[in-house]
Amino acid sequence: MLKSQQEKNNLSSTQLNTVIEELKRLINFLVTDSRKEHVFGVMKFSDRLAQRLSLNIEKRQKLFVAALAHDLFRDIEVHKMIQMAKAYGLDISSTENKRPILLHSKIAAEFLRIRFKIDDEEILEAIRYHTSGHKCMGLLSKIIFVSDSLEETRVYEGVEKLRKMIFENFEKGFFEVLKNKLNYVVKNNLILLEDSVELWNELILKGVK
């Protein structure tokens, strides 16, 4: 490896560590205690998956950042979410307008981009799509998406089976986590997000089952 390349990588690793420490500090006063447990659960679960999938240390650091940031604004008041989204110049869809809580994903990604100058799309999309998923999402986004549903504080029927499946066959497990999430949404008369539907259709068209 060229020395300049090595320095660049080292620097980015140092920067990521700084962001990780800063996020841990922010979490203490931005999220509730139970959410904090969930966030650290996502961090732990996603790292176990990263090791299972033999991801390198850089990808694991990126996952730490995404896990720590994904619900950073989940517990702030709804009117503040709207304020932040407007201040960041984000497009607010009609669904988000009616359910502003959905904005917490986009806001967190934008906060990271502006506050920490993070322009790494793998990190940003993992945060942005952690609730809905997206038909174009990459591996790190998929890891955060499933970890959000499978981390150790989550308790619901079938969670153990899904946890086992994700370590045996990641793509199959991902499909089943999405399916379970969509089933839950329909069963409880919740909002079916367009990105989730598109992702579902994409997987069906690819023949995943």
**Sequence-separated (6 or more) residues with CB below 8 Å from residue 34:** 153
Q: How far apart are CA 161 and CA 166, in angstroms?
A: 9
148 is a site residue for Fe ion (CB under 5 A) = yes
CB of 150 to Fe ion, least distance (A): 11
Within 69-128, the residues that bind Fe ion by CB under 5 A are 71
Binding mask 52-71 for Fe ion (x = CB under 5 A): -------------------x
Residues in the chain, how many? 209
Q: CA 21, CA 1: separation in Å to the nearest integer?
A: 28
Burial class (CB in 10 A: 0-12, 13-18, 19+), 187: exposed
Output the smallest distance, CB 62 to Fe ion, in A.
17
- C-beta of 42: minimal distance to Fe ion in Å? 6
Binding segment (CB under 5 A) for Fe ion, from list 26-34, 50-58, 147-155, 181-189 = 147-155
Whose Cβ is closer to Fe ion: residue 150's or residue 203's? Answer: 150
Q: Which is nearer to Fe ion, 31 or 203 (CB)?
A: 31
CB atoms within 10 A of CB 156: 10
Local structure of residue 189 (DSSP, 8 states): T
Q: DSSP E strands: which ranges in the chain?
A: none
**Measured from the CB atom, is 82 or 208 closer to Fe ion?**
82
Between 145 and 175, CB nearer to Fe ion: 145
The site for Fe ion (CB under 5 A) is made up of 71, 148
